């Protein structure tokens, strides 16, 4: 067993893991942060998307031991200090961009990254940038609507 120390959502965590455990399983099963979902374990679906130093990564493609000392953000880190919904969460709720909710955490983490790093995106650009995240329920129309709404709100807030 190996001890892994890391920061998630601004809080220090430490846990024991086998060297072969994937980061997504470490986050969910060892650290008990259940917001990050396990989808395909092959990196195709995007349900396990988190942010590592502010950039989106698929946590099913990384070993937990590789995250030693890392600074991560999971979907639990999106909510406000008093439990209020983030811009992304509010937009997904308002635009009905979720149905079963399984893929939502990965889409929220991508949306969080995209709206902060792209001041203006067309619908086609949003679809292209979300290509690594899959949803089997919504048909993506509402998800693209939610990303555009979150982007509008984010930049209106910054003014």
Name beta bridge partners: 56.
51
**Domain containing residue 93:** 87-158
Residue 30 gets which letter from DSSP?
I
Which domain CATH number covers 114?
A: 1.10.150.120
pLDDT at 145 over 90: yes
Q: Which of 79, 67, 142 is nearest to 105 (CA)?
A: 79
Confidence at residue 143, expressed as pLDDT on a 0 to 100 scale: 96
Does residue 124 sit within a domain?
A: yes
pLDDT at 159 over 80: no
> Tokens 């060297």 label which residue?
19
Does residue 39 sit within a domain?
A: yes
Average pLDDT over residues 47-64: 97
Does residue 82 sit within a domain?
A: no
> Which pTM value belongs to this model?
0.94
Q: Which two tokens stand for residue 141?
A: 């129309």
Query: Is there a contact between 75 and 98 (Cβ–Cβ < 8 Å)?
Result: no
Domain count, the chain: 2
Average pLDDT over residues 148-152: 96
Q: How confident is the model at residue 119 (pLDDT cuts 50, 70, 90)?
A: confident
Which domain CATH number covers 43?
A: 3.10.20.30
Domain match, 44 and 111 both: no
Q: How confident is the model at residue 127 (pLDDT cuts 50, 70, 90)?
A: very high
Domain match, 27 and 47 both: yes
Residue where a domain terminates, one of 33, 50, 77: 77
Tens digits of per-residue pLDDT, 66-110?
Answer: 999 999 999 999 998 899 999 999 999 999 998 888 999 999 999
Average pLDDT over residues 134-138: 88
């Amino acid at each position: 067993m190996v001890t892994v120390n890391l920061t998630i959502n601004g809080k220090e965590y430490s846990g024991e893991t086998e060297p072969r455990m994937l980061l997504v399983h470490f986050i969910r099963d060892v650290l008990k942060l259940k917001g990050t979902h396990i989808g395909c374990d092959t990196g195709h679906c995007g349900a396990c998307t988190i942010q590592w130093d502010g950039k989106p990564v698929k946590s099913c493609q990384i070993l937990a031991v590789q995250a030693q000392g890392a600074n991560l953000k999971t979907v639990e880190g999106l909510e406000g200090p008093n439990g209020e919904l983030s811009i992304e969460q509010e937009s997904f709720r308002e635009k009905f961009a979720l149905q079963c909710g399984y893929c939502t955490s990965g889409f929220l983490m991508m949306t969080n990254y995209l709206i902060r790093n792209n001041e203006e995106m067309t619908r086609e650009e949003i679809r292209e940038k979300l290509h690594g995240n899959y949803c089997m329920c919504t048909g993506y129309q509402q998800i693209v609507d939610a990303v555009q709404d979150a982007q509008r709100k984010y930049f209106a807030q910054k003014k």
